[in-house]
């Protein structure tokens, strides 16, 4: 599908004013204006990102009562089990809450992560019964799951289990009758920022617990130190869960990236080492999205997610190294399986109706690994630009993962098809579901029809929004460093991209990377030659011609070599100039 380029409007008067009042480079002023930041005070706040901008946890519905119950359980030495999800968000939230309770003095403490394939997502009856009867659990605290567990909450009552649910996923029509539900969208309150991830909710609860062991307003020194370090895990989860990187989430990620670079925990240091991320000049959301998150996710996808919790909570460097190497091996195996399933899924898509005529994509096959289908759905969304559901079939129940395109409410789409599903849950951008394989065709038709009726003309188009048209020579190391202050990038704060033309391809591009998927290029503009890379473009850009002029959309980046910095470019898109 062709990509439409949209260049942001340019108001020279506004740019000059903000450049002068905020004391920033004119191109930085343009970037700020493109993000709706129009005065110097807002610009300074956006670029500085102070940690004291985090909202007090007492504002989060359920947090105070949940903290009181947990503190009481710690002091009474009751058995507490943290029940987390198997993705990065759940693993990070489980790890930070476990560390919090351990430091707060919990003597009978454990965690439980359900097996992705054998148990599926969220609370399940068998696990609750096992925790109560075999492990003596008295208080169960969920992380990143539970808001849709209406029947399981009733079972917990019958078993005599105290149940605290902490979650951020979109709630259904009925809230579970847990002892406490901690949720930013709870009708019991009006939390000012509804877009926390699951680990963000767990952090707020941990913060409230830590206040209980201080003076009631501030945590004691050792717990305050823990909270600062725990922001690293919230940052990791926030990026991995693709929630908007605005307001509190921007604060978490900005300070978490700094913490990851300066003082990572023993487990995160081992993970940074095996993923070779510590070699980077600067950690970024890309470090998390492409380096750390896939390896943590690989534990739950290919093995057991508790391995990742063990890594993030261990204090033994040698044990951390072994666990990180195991996650690295799991991730390599995941990549092999993913490539096979993506190829098979694309065959299915292209054997059907034209994608241009579709609203949504639904594909499935027996034998597809259920731990990989979420990534496959993301790859199909990237390629076809349509809301996508990928299902692993073969048993009595088909297990699916769904991913959305920008602006489209995936949870609402599944709600419209709920009569064809056994269960579903998630949020606007990503979701999971289960169905009877016999109803796959019915579901696919309903999902496609809903998407066709709901997608706007703008959502149907793949649009690349460009911040400004510039020359490559404009990008000095100083300017690129100033642009880096816009980090963290993600949903709500896209990475700045620029257009320049013409550039000339000096020589045929060189294929690079272990999988031969990327390109290294030498480009020329104004008599100067620059190095550029194009990630995952080896196949689609295989026909590039040397000595040919192009218009290119790009991102500037800094590279350091032998103590010297140079500016290079990541190419996002290009068009030949005839």
CA distance 461 to 473: 32
What is the extent of the structural domain holding 536? 3-48+463-576
Q: Same domain for 454 and 368?
A: yes
pLDDT 10s digits, 499-522: 999 999 999 999 998 888 999 999
Print pLDDT tens along the chain (578 aa).
678 999 999 899 999 999 999 999 999 999 999 999 999 999 998 998 899 999 999 999 999 999 999 999 999 999 999 999 999 999 999 999 999 999 999 999 999 999 887 888 889 999 999 999 999 999 999 999 999 999 999 999 999 999 999 999 988 889 999 999 999 999 888 899 999 999 999 999 999 999 988 776 777 788 889 999 999 999 999 999 988 899 999 999 999 999 999 999 999 999 999 998 876 667 888 888 889 999 999 998 888 999 999 999 999 999 999 999 999 999 999 999 999 999 999 999 999 888 888 999 999 999 999 989 999 999 999 999 999 999 999 889 999 999 999 889 999 999 999 999 999 988 888 899 999 999 999 999 999 999 999 999 989 989 999 999 999 999 999 999 999 999 998 877 889 999 999 999 999 999 998 888 999 999 999 999 999 999 989 988 999 989 999 999 999 999 877 778 889 999 999 999 97
pLDDT of residue 281: 61
Q: Are residues 442 and 427 in the same domain?
A: yes
Q: Are strands 109-112 and 162-166 parallel, antiparallel or unpaired?
A: unpaired
Query: Does residue 449 share a domain with residue 471?
Result: no
Do 23 and 157 belong to one domain? no
Beta carbons of 241 and 89 less than 8 angstroms apart: yes
442 and 506 in a common domain: no
Assigned domain for 77 exists? yes
* 488/252 Cα distance (integer angstroms): 9
Both 108 and 35 in a single domain? Answer: no
Per-residue confidence (pLDDT) for residue 156, from 0 to 100: 97
Other C-beta atoms closer than 10 Å to the C-beta of 578 total 5
Q: CA-to-CA distance for 530 and 508, rounded, in angstroms?
A: 14
Q: Which of 328, 213, 250 is nearest to 55 (CA)?
A: 250
pLDDT at res. 117: 78
Domain membership flag for residue 79: yes
User: What integer pLDDT is reported at residue 268 of this predicted model?
Assistant: 96
Task: Please tell me the predicted confidence (pLDDT) of residue 492.
Answer: 79
Spell out the long-range contacts of 283-292 with Cβ–Cβ below 8 A and sequence spacing 24 or more: 283/257, 284/257, 284/487, 284/488, 284/489, 285/239, 285/245, 285/253, 285/257, 285/487, 285/488, 285/489, 285/490, 287/257, 287/260, 288/235, 288/236, 288/239, 288/240, 288/257, 289/239, 289/240, 292/236, 292/268
Asked whether the beta carbons of 1 and 355 are under 8 A apart, the reply is: yes
Nearest alpha-carbon partner for 378 in 365, 387, 368, 366: 387
pLDDT for residue 356: 86
Residues 391, 504: one domain?
A: no
**Single residue among 426, 460, 494 that ends a domain in this structure:** 460
Domain boundary among 400, 432, 460: 460
Based on the fold, state whether residues 515 and 446 are members of the same structural domain: no
**Helix, strand, coil percentages for the chain (3-state, nearest 5):** 45, 20, 35
Check residue 280 and give its pLDDT. Answer: 65
Distance of CA 323 to the CA centre of its chain: 22
- Do residues 479 and 567 both lie within one domain? yes
Q: Do 559 and 568 form a contact (C-beta atoms < 8 A)?
A: yes
| Residue 310 belongs to a domain | no
pLDDT tens for 386-399 read 999 999 998 899 99
Q: How many CA atoms lie within 13 A of 397 on its CB side?
A: 13
Report which of 116, 100, 317, 375 is spatially closest to residue 227, judged by C-alpha positions: 100
- What values do phi and psi take at 227, rounded to 5? -65, -40
CATH number at residue 373: 3.10.310.30
The 3-class SS string of 153-165 reads HHHHHHHCCEEEE
Is position 172 within any domain? yes
Shared-domain flag, residues 73 and 136: yes
For residue 187, tell me if it sits in a domain.
yes
How many domains are contained in the chain? 3
Mark which of 460, 492, 517 sits at the end of a domain.
460
Amino acid 526: pLDDT:
95
The Cα-based distances of 169 to 175, 419, 565 in angstroms read 12, 20, 43
Residue 25 forms part of a structural domain? yes
* Domain identity same for 388 and 530: no
CA distance 472 to 499: 9
Residue 132: inside a domain, yes or no? yes
Query: Is there a domain that residue 346 lies in?
Result: no
Q: Are residues 456 and 356 in the same domain?
A: yes
């Amino acid at each position: 599908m062709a990509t439409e380029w949209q260049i942001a409007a340019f108001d020279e008067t506004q740019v000059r004013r903000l450049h002068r009042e905020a004391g920033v480079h004119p191109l930085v002023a343009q970037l700020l204006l493109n993000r709706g930041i129009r005065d110097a005070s807002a610009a300074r706040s956006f670029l500085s990102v102070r940690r004291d901008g985090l909202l007090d946890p007492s504002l989060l519905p359920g947090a105070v009562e949940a903290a009181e119950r947990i503190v009481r359980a710690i002091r009474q030495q009751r058995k507490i089990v943290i029940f987390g999800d198997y993705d990065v968000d759940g693993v990070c939230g489980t790890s930070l809450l476990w560390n919090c309770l351990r430091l707060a003095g919990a003597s009978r403490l454990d965690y439980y992560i359900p097996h992705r394939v054998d148990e599926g997502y969220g609370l399940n009856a068998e696990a609750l019964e096992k925790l109560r009867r075999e492990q003596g659990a008295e208080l169960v605290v969920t992380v990143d799951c539970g808001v849709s567990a209406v029947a399981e909450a009733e079972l917990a009552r019958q078993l005599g289990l105290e149940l605290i649910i902490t979650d951020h996923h979109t709630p259904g029509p009925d809230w579970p009758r847990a002892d406490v539900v901690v949720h930013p969208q709870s009708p019991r309150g009006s939390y000012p920022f509804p877009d926390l991830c699951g680990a963000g909710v767990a952090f707020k609860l941990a913060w409230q617990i830590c206040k209980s062991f201080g003076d009631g307003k501030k945590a004691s020194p050792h717990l305050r130190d823990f909270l600062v370090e725990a922001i690293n895990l919230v940052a990791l989860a926030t990026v991995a869960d693709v929630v908007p990187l605005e307001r509190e989430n921007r604060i978490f990620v900005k300070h978490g990236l700094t913490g990851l670079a300066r003082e990572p925990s023993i487990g995160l240091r081992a993970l940074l080492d095996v993923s070779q991320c510590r070699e980077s000049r600067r950690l970024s959301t890309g470090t998390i999205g492409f380096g750390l998150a896939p390896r943590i996710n690989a534990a739950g996808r290919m093995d057991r997610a508790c391995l990742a919790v063990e890594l993030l909570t261990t204090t033994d460097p040698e044990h951390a190294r072994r666990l990180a190497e195991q996650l690295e091996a799991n991730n390599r195996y995941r990549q092999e399986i993913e490539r096979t399933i993506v190829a098979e899924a694309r065959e299915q898509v292209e054997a059907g109706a034209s994608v241009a005529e579709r609203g949504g994509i639904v594909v499935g096959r027996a034998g597809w690994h259920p731990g990989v289908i979420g990534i496959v759905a993301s790859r199909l969304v990237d390629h076809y630009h349509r809301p996508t559901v990928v299902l692993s079939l073969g048993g009595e129940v088909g297990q699916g993962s769904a991913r959305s395109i920008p602006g489209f409410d995936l949870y609402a789409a599944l709600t419209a098809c709920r009569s064809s599903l056994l269960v579903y849950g998630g949020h606007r951008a990503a979701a999971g579901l289960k169905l009877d394989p016999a109803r796959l065709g019915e579901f696919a038709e309903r999902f496609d029809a809903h998407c066709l009726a709901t997608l706007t003309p703008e959502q149907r188009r793949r649009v690349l929004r460009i911040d400004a048209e510039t020359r490559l020579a404009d990008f000095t190391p100083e300017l690129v460093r100033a642009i880096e202050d816009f980090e963290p990038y993600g949903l709500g704060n896209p990475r700045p991209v620029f257009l320049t033309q013409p550039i000339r391809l000096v020589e045929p591009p060189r294929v690079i990377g272990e999988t031969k998927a990327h390109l290294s290029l030498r480009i020329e503009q104004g008599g100067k030659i620059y190095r550029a890379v194009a990630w995952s473009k080896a196949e689609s850009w295989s026909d590039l011609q040397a000595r040919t002029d192009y218009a290119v959309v790009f991102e500037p980046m800094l590279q350091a070599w032998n103590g010297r910095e140079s500016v290079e470019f990541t190419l996002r898109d290009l068009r030949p100039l005839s």
